[in-house]
Amino acid sequence: MKVYCPAGITNALGGVENGEAKHILAPTVTANRKGTGLTPICIALCKAIGASPDTIEYATQYLRIVAIGIPFLIISNAFSNIIRSEGRAKTAMSGMIIGNMANVILDPVMILLLGWNVAGAAIATVIGNILSAVFYVSHLLSKKSQLSIRLQDYKAGDKIAGSVFAIGIPASLNSVLMSVSNIFINNLMAHYGDMAVAGLGVAMKVNMIVVMLLIGLGTGIQPLLGYCFGAGNRKRYFAVLKFSILLAFVLSAIMTCVCYFGADGLVSAFLEDADAYDFGFQFSRIYILSGPILGQLFVFINAIQSTGAALPSLILSISRQGLLYLPILFIINATTDSARLLALAQPVTDYLATALAIILFVITCKKYFPKKSSIE
């Protein structure tokens, strides 16, 4: 079976098909170059989520500068995952640290010392993206990597490019639907006032403390699972999966407790207005209700992607923030008049999405995993 990047690369390397892994990389780079020239769309989205005439000018200025660095951002994001799929997690992390540290250091210099304000923040972001991209490209051009971005290794035949899009599009759809769902929830929450919208924004940030940690766990195990899958090592595949599920449960439980019982301090760090704080505190505790199962959700999502199963990945990507979340959101909005119940739509969706992910994973294993393992 041939599946592609980053799952395809790990599968190919796991199956000791280094030549195939090299050919997979070039179409992946080409595919990831799509998406520039979206500044007008981004500005329209800013207006859609309620940007005022006072803030839209700053958003436009920021986006126009950041758009220049979009190609470097795409290269940085794509290559970090590609290098991670090669089993070089430290190298992938180093590139991210270089870019982020440059951004952190340059932000105060350009915003405060040079007085460039919003433009300074945007320029610092672009420079950080460029440095990360240069680091990753240098690694892939070196002899340290088993992969290649040289023209002689470019090969788009044998349905390689199609397979790259088959795996990449679901992941892209997930990000798009997250943005779309945020637009809808912000617009619906706006009926309850600006303080409700402010409280929701902070609650989402508090929830992201848990979400980003667990997404990182899921992303980290995908190369391991993909390598085992490519090698046909069923025993090790499920050993890694079981350990990951246990670790995800422990991390989810700890972070859920921290964010639930620490919601007071976390929300008050962002909001001073009493009404906004009240909304933020209650929304934070509602959003974190799905914390205990979020780890399992992201583990199973990445486990499915590690097999290169395009259809289950697509179904999951369009379900969590699309087919499940949006209908639940609109049903609650149509049948109740409560901002708190609107916030409850996300945890309800997460539990349903986790159940769906487990079902799809079982189906995927039966269909895609080799019946006989080469290594036991």
Secondary structure (3-state) at 114: coil
Averaged confidence pLDDT in the chain: 81
In angstroms, rounded to a whole number, what is the distance separating the alpha carbons of residues 360 and 367? 10
Helix, strand, coil percent content, the chain, rounded in steps of 5: 85, 0, 15
Residue boundaries of the structural domains of the chain: 1-158, 159-376
Looking at residue 45, what is its pLDDT? 61
- Max CA separation in the chain (angstroms): 64
CB 240 within 8 A of CB 221: yes
* pLDDT tens readout for residues 286-322: 999 999 999 999 999 888 888 878 788 888 878 888 8
The DSSP H or E segment spanning 343 is helix 339-368
- DSSP, residue by residue, 235-271: HHHHHHHHHHHHHHHHHHHHHHHHHHHTHHHHHHTT-
Listed in sequence order, the residues at least 6 apart from 354 whose beta carbon sits closer than 8 Å to its beta carbon are 293, 294, 296, 297, 300
- pLDDT of 180 reads 85
Look at residue 148 in the predicted model and tell me its pLDDT. 65
pLDDT digit string (tens) for 26-83? Answer: 445 444 444 444 556 666 766 666 555 666 777 778 888 888 888 999 888 888 878 8
Q: What is the dihedral of CA 172, 209, 242, 18, to 10 degrees?
A: 40
pLDDT range class, residue 154, cuts 50, 70, 90: low
User: What are 173-192's pLDDT values in tens digits?
Assistant: 777 888 888 888 988 888 89
Instruction: Read off the pLDDT of residues 258-287 as tens digits, 9 standing for 90 and up.
Output: 999 999 999 998 888 899 999 999 999 999
E strands of the chain, at which residues?
Answer: none
Six-digit token string for 345: 């739509």
218 pLDDT higher than 80 = yes
Kindly state the tokens that stand for 176: 């798009």
**Cα angle at 122 between 118 and 123, to 5 degrees?**
115
DSSP state of 151: G
Is residue 77 classed as helix, strand or coil in its secondary structure? helix
Backbone angles phi, psi at 262, to 5 degrees: -100, 10
pLDDT of amino acid 84: 78
Mean pLDDT of 236-250: 92
**Considering Cα of 290, then 291, then 297, then 298, what sign does the dihedral take?**
positive
Neighbours of 158 (CB within 10 A): 12
Find out whether 84 and 13 touch, Cβ atoms under 8 Å: no
DSSP conformational letter for 371: S
Per-residue model confidence (pLDDT) at position 152: 65
